[in-house]
């Protein structure tokens, strides 16, 4: 019974990690798109930085 529970627990952990990694890929893609838009749409008369930090 214990090995079966360990296998089920491992399957749940791997499924959760896979789901989290998939979400992180989408978040990284969204941040990259926003960065590219900010890089292209920056003001021409500034010092080259479009962010304030």
pLDDT at 28: 92
pLDDT at 29: 92
Low-confidence ranges of the chain (pLDDT < 70): 42-53
pLDDT at 12: 85
d(CA 45, CA 19): 43
pLDDT at 43: 62
Tokens of 44: 């021409």
CA distances from 20 to 23, 31, 32, 33, 41 (A): 5, 16, 18, 20, 31
């Amino acid at each position: 019974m214990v090995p079966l529970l360990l296998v089920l627990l491992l399957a749940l952990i791997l499924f959760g990690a896979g789901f989290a990694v998939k979400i992180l890929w989408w978040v990284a893609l969204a941040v990259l798109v926003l960065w590219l838009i900010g890089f292209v749409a920056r003001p021409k008369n500034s010092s080259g930085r479009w962010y304030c930090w």
